[in-house]
Amino acid sequence: MVLVGLVIVAGARVASPAQGFVIALVVVVGVDPVAFLSAGFWLSFLAVAALLTAFAGRVGGGTGWRTYILVAVRAQLAIALVLTPCLVLMKSEASLVAWLVNLLAIPWVSFTVIAPLLAGTLLLPLSETVASWPLAVAEFSLGVLWHALLRASAYAPTLRLATSPLFVTASLLAAMLLLSPYRAGLWLPAIVGWLALAAGIVPERPQEGGFVITVLDVGQGLALLIQTRRHNLVYDTGPGRKGGFDAGRSIVVPALRHLGIRYLHGLIVSHGDADHAGGRPGLVAGYPPGFIHGSAFGELQPCGDERWQWDGVRFHLFGLTVGSDNDRSCVLEVRGAGSALVPGDISVVAEEKILARLGGAVDLLIAPHHGSQSSSGPAFLNALAPAIVIVSAGHKNRFGHPHRTVVDRYERRGAMVITTAEGGAMSWAAGSAKVEAMRRVRRPWHFP
C-alpha cells in the first residue's frame, strides 16, 4: 500500500484513495494468487479500507498534540469497528480493548522498533558492529512491548460469539455506513446492523436424550466433543509436545468457541500417548473442565468403572487395569437416542476382554487405535455391528492408518468408513444415518 502511494506521488499522478487501494490489492494478488485465502490479507485490506472510509474528505485540519490524539483515536475506533466482526467470524472472539492497546503500541513500534531497525539495515553493508547498536535497540524495544502485550492479554476482556457469516456481513456493512461521510440519516439502521453481531447464532443443541459427537481433525491423533442438551464433554485432546505445537490450544479450543461452547463439563484423556494427551495443557488453559478422568501428564491413571447420566443420555466409562498403555485406554460408551463407542487405542486383546462389559451393538464406532491392524478384531466388530465408523488419522501418516485390511473388515459388515484425513472434522447426531464431513461441504469458491 505504501509502495503504491509512493509511486503515485513520485510520478506526479492524480489518483483517488480508492484507485490506490485497488491497485495495491491487484498487485498483491498478482504476486501471490492465493494470498486472498489468508486471514492476514483480509484483515490488512479491511483495516486500510476502514481508514480510507473514516477519513475520506476529512484529511487535514488542526495541528498539535490534541489533533494528533483525536486522529489516532478515530483511526483505532474505525479499525476496531470494521475488524471486530471479521475476528469474531475467523476466531469466534475479539479483544474489546485492542483499539486502546494499539494507541500506544503503534507509535511505540514506529519510533522505537521500525526506525532503529531500518537504520541498522542501512548500516549493515558498512559495518556490522555499528549496525548491531540500533538493531539491539529495536530488539530491546520489541521485547518490552511483547511482555506488555502478554500482560494486557491476560486481563483484557474479549467478545466471544458463535455467529453466522450473514450476521457478520450485516455488521461489517453497518460499520462502513457508520464511518462513511454519507452516513446522515443512516445511523439507526447502521447501529442495528452492527448490534446484529451480538445476537450470535449459537448452533442448536440436541434434544433430551439426544447427543452430537464431533470428531475434530487433529492429524495423527484423536480429539472429539460430545454435546448433550446442556452438557459438553471432550474425549482426548489431540497431539502436542512441551514447548511446541499443542492441538488443544490451536485446534480444540478454537473449535469449541466456534461451536458456541461456554463451559466444558468434563474431560476424558484416554491414555498418556502424546497424540491423545499432548493437547491437554492448552485445552485446560482455555476451557478448565468440571472434571478430568483418565491419564494425567507423566503418569497413567487407569479408568475404573464410572456411570453417569446427562440430559437423558447414559455414559459408561471403564478400562482395563492390566496390559500395555494402549490396552489400558479409557473406553467410553454413550447411549441415548443413538449409541456410540469410543475405545481409545485398545488392541484385539483388550477388545475381547471388554466385550462382556459392553451394552450391545452401536450405531457409531470411533475406530480403535486409528484403524491399526492390531485392533478391530472380528469378534469385536461382530458384537458391535456399527453402521458408521470414523477413523481419526493423519493424511499419509507414517503408520499407514487406517490399514486396508481393517477397512475391508468394516466394509464387509456393511459399515460406512470415513477418515478425518479424507473428510476433515466430522459431526454425527445420535440416531442419524449420516455424517457431516466438513471437508466434503462444498463452498462456492471450491474448485470442481
Which pLDDT tens digit goes with each residue over 316-328?
Answer: 999 988 888 899 9
Is there a single domain that holds both residue 67 and residue 183?
A: yes
Q: Which helix (H) or strand (E) holds 314?
A: strand 313-318
| 447 within domain boundaries | no
Is there a single domain that holds both residue 177 and residue 239?
A: no
> For 132, how many CA atoms within 13 A lie in the half-sphere containing its CB?
3
User: Which pLDDT score, from 0 to 100, does residue 96 have?
Assistant: 82
User: Which pLDDT score, from 0 to 100, does residue 341 have?
Assistant: 97
Is there a single domain that holds both residue 67 and residue 178?
A: yes
Domains identified in the chain, total number: 2
| 73 within domain boundaries | yes
Mean pLDDT of 381-391: 96
Is there a single domain that holds both residue 135 and residue 264?
A: no
Q: In the chain, what's the furthest Cα-to-Cα distance?
A: 84
User: Which pLDDT score, from 0 to 100, does residue 6 have?
Assistant: 84
| 325 within domain boundaries | yes
Kindly report the length of the chain: 448
pLDDT band at 162 (very low <50, low <70, confident <90, very high): low
Torsion of CA 312, 387, 424, 405, to 10 degrees: 140
| 250 within domain boundaries | yes
Is there a single domain that holds both residue 248 and residue 309?
A: yes
| 236 within domain boundaries | yes
Is there a single domain that holds both residue 124 and residue 232?
A: no
166 alpha carbon, distance to own chain's centre: 20
Strands 436-437 vs 224-227: parallel, antiparallel or unpaired:
unpaired
* Domain span including residue 88: 2-199
In sequence order, what DSSP letters do the residues of 368-408 get, joined into one string?
Answer: GGGG-TTS--HHHHHHH--SEEEE---TT-TT-PSPHHHHH
Bigger pLDDT: 132 vs 162: 132
3 state SS of 329: coil
Output the nine-digit C-alpha cell for 188: 439507526
Q: What is the pTM of this model?
A: 0.72
Is there a single domain that holds both residue 165 and residue 23?
A: yes
Partners of 125 in the β-ladder: none
Is there a single domain that holds both residue 112 and residue 251?
A: no
Number of C-beta neighbours around residue 17 at 10 A: 16
pLDDT band at 170 (very low <50, low <70, confident <90, very high): confident
Mean pLDDT of 240-247: 87
**pLDDT one-digit tens code per residue, 260-279:** 788 999 999 999 899 999 99
| 204 within domain boundaries | no
Number of C-beta neighbours around residue 121 at 10 A: 13
Is there a single domain that holds both residue 79 and residue 121?
A: yes
Letter string b/e over residues 161-173, b meaning 16 or more CB atoms within 10 A of that residue's CB: bbbbeebbebbbe
Lowest mean pLDDT among 13-17, 196-200, 378-382, 386-390: 196-200
* CA gap 180, 76 in Å, rounded: 15
Is there a single domain that holds both residue 241 and residue 292?
A: yes
User: Which pLDDT score, from 0 to 100, does residue 363 have?
Assistant: 96
Is there a single domain that holds both residue 17 and residue 155?
A: yes
Mean pLDDT of 383-392: 96
DSSP class of 345: T
User: Which pLDDT score, from 0 to 100, does residue 262 have?
Assistant: 84
Q: At a CB cut-off of 8 Å and minimum separation 6, what does 339 contact?
A: 333, 359, 360, 361, 362, 363, 364, 430
User: Which pLDDT score, from 0 to 100, does residue 347 have?
Assistant: 95
Is there a single domain that holds both residue 111 and residue 233?
A: no
Decide which of 164, 199, 234 is a domain's last residue.
199
Where residue 325 sits, what CATH number does that domain have? 3.60.15.10
Decide which of 199, 230, 256 is a domain's last residue.
199
| 445 within domain boundaries | no
pLDDT band at 94 (very low <50, low <70, confident <90, very high): confident
Position 114 pLDDT exceeds 70: yes
* CA gap 387, 365 in Å, rounded: 8
Decide which of 199, 224, 251 is a domain's last residue.
199
User: Which pLDDT score, from 0 to 100, does residue 16 have?
Assistant: 81
| 448 within domain boundaries | no
Mean pLDDT of 221-248: 93
**pLDDT one-digit tens code per residue, 44-88:** 999 998 888 888 766 555 677 888 888 888 888 888 888 888 887
**pLDDT one-digit tens code per residue, 390-433:** 999 999 899 999 999 999 999 999 999 999 998 899 999 998 88
Letter string b/e over residues 234-255, b meaning 16 or more CB atoms within 10 A of that residue's CB: bbbbbbbeeeeebbbbebbbbb
